């Protein structure tokens, strides 16, 4: 009888969203090392797309998952139950955020955080217009897709949300399109999928000022850039501004699925009446996910991992120099290497993977290589990984 391999089952029975999946079968992951079923090891330079900031299978996170699973798992998260992991994590997050960001709505993902934030903005302001930015990414559900900054990914799914507008990221003149009929502006504090685009302080401050003047809610999406990835705990700290609504996800769950939109209690309370249950979710803020996220967050703070992010990012930038690298864009441990084309970039990425370094490209900048490793990566591992990348470029 012919044996069916996991690879065949993967292709036949798991939904495929790419015509050319990587087909890496990972059996175990620890720290920054992924171990394949064939025994091959890979240095992870993408951290599950900025999820595994602490590396994989951190013992404190694993312990928290096990302990919470033994107590209880799903009960009823958005109903009448007070669940300790959710309460403790909300308290920890809000204690480190500006005073007005004091109310947390936990979700299952970043896309769900986007959806909740868009509903909240429309409900709180009584307005309908939503503004986003070209080359922005906020998730793939239909509301989030309406805010996505790429027509290539949107056109097959229209019609989407009405009364939306897109501006050019970093263009101060276009901010005048924000008016007193705009419910919210949603923007990535650091635009990730465009190839790590870092806005000027002037642009971000002007955006905040115009939102203030027009009564528009400012939603900052830090699903990728938040929780230390830029070298500060929250990316908006680089700009001296505070959003009305903050989106977090990816690293928020310590490796478990978790997102959140965070606002003031006054704004968030608009979801409690007219109608009651203005926004609900079955699993958002799941106790095991919150326990894992809280444990990971405690490690992040206790071990002061954010303090080392910028120096490690600079080391990557210093070691990665080659004529074929057209440009480099970086903040903290978010970095993009630009090559001549996607074809060139993909060949280099494939060669890196062959030689034990896992990296990737960007959704809206496929000619750029993504580097976003776990914060715990060592200087030795950075040097080894950069050596492989440079060899692959050659």
CATH number at residue 143: 3.40.640.10
Average pLDDT, the chain: 96
What's the CATH number where 52 sits?
3.90.1150.10
**Tens-digit pLDDT profile for residues 172-228:** 999 999 999 999 999 999 999 999 999 999 999 999 999 999 999 999 999 999 999
Indicate the residue among 302, 330, 348 that finishes a domain. 302
User: What's the pLDDT band for 3 if we cut at 50, 70, 90?
Assistant: confident
User: In terms of domains, do 134 and 87 share one?
Assistant: yes
User: In terms of domains, do 12 and 125 share one?
Assistant: no
In degrees, rounded to 5, the angle at the alpha carbon of residue 108 between the alpha carbons of residues 278 and 360 is 135
Count CB-CB contacts under 10 A for residue 20.
7
User: In terms of domains, do 37 and 87 share one?
Assistant: no
Residue 18 forms part of a structural domain: yes
User: In terms of domains, do 137 and 194 share one?
Assistant: yes
User: In terms of domains, do 86 and 226 share one?
Assistant: yes
Separation CA 269–CA 124 (nearest Å): 9
User: In terms of domains, do 278 and 373 share one?
Assistant: no
Residue 66 forms part of a structural domain: yes
User: In terms of domains, do 321 and 298 share one?
Assistant: no
User: In terms of domains, do 51 and 91 share one?
Assistant: no
User: In terms of domains, do 200 and 287 share one?
Assistant: yes
Looking at residue 79, what is its pLDDT?
74
Residue 1 forms part of a structural domain: no
Indicate the residue among 248, 281, 302 that finishes a domain. 302
Separation CA 314–CA 330 (nearest Å): 9
CB 113 within 8 Å of CB 223 = yes
User: In terms of domains, do 170 and 257 share one?
Assistant: yes
Residue 243 forms part of a structural domain: yes
Does pLDDT of 63 surpass 80? yes
Does pLDDT of 100 surpass 80? yes
Segment 99-127 mean pLDDT? 98
Count CB-CB contacts under 10 A for residue 74.
11
**Tens-digit pLDDT profile for residues 134-159:** 999 999 999 999 999 999 999 999 99
Indicate the residue among 272, 302, 332 that finishes a domain. 302
How many domains does the structure of the chain reveal? 2
Separation CA 242–CA 227 (nearest Å): 15
CA distances in angstroms from 301 to 58, 92, 94, 188, listed in the order given = 14, 11, 14, 24
Q: Which domain holds residue 324?
A: 6-57+304-393
User: In terms of domains, do 193 and 256 share one?
Assistant: yes
User: In terms of domains, do 151 and 266 share one?
Assistant: yes
């Amino acid at each position: 009888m012919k044996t069916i391999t996991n690879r065949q089952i993967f292709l036949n029975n798991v939904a495929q969203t790419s015509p050319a999946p990587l087909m890496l079968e990972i059996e175990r992951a620890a720290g920054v090392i992924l171990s394949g079923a064939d025994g091959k090891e890979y240095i992870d330079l993408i951290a599950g797309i900025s999820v595994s900031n602490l590396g994989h299978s951190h013992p404190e996170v694993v312990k928290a998952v096990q302990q919470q699973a033994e107590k209880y798992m799903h009960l009823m998260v958005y109903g009448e139950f007070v669940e300790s992991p959710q309460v403790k994590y909300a308290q920890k997050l809000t204690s480190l955020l500006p005073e007005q960001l004091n109310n947390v709505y936990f979700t299952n993902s970043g896309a769900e955080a986007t959806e909740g934030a868009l509903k909240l903005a429309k409900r709180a302001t009584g307005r309908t217009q939503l503004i986003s930015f070209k080359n922005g990414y906020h998730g793939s559900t239909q509301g989030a897709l309406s805010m996505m900054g790429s027509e290539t990914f949107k056109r097959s799914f229209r019609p989407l949300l009405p009364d939306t507008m897109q501006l050019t990221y970093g263009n101060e003149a276009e901010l005048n399109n924000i008016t007193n009929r705009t419910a919210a502006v949603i923007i990535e504090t650091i635009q990730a999928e465009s190839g790590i685009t870092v806005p000027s302080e002037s642009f971000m401050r002007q955006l905040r000022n115009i939102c203030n003047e027009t009564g528009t809610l400012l939603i900052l999406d830090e699903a990728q850039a938040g929780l230390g990835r830029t070298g500060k705990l929250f990316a908006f700290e680089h700009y001296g501004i505070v959003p009305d609504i903050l989106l977090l996800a990816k690293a928020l769950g310590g490796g478990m699925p978790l997102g959140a939109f965070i606002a003031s209690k006054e704004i968030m309370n608009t979801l409690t009446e007219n109608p009651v249950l203005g926004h609900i979710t079955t699993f958002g803020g799941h106790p095991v996910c919150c326990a894992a996220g809280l444990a990971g967050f405690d490690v992040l703070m206790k071990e002061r991992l954010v303090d080392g992010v910028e120096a490690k990012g600079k080391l990557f930038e210093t070691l990665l120099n080659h004529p074929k690298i057209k440009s480099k864009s970086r903040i903290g441990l978010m970095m993009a290497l630009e090559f001549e084309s996607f074809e060139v970039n993909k060949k280099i990425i494939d060669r890196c993977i062959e030689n034990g370094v896992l990296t990737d490209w960007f959704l809206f900048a496929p000619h750029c290589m993504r580097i976003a490793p776990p914060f715990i990566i060592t200087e030795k591992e950075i040097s080894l990984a950069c050596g492989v990348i440079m060899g692959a470029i050659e």
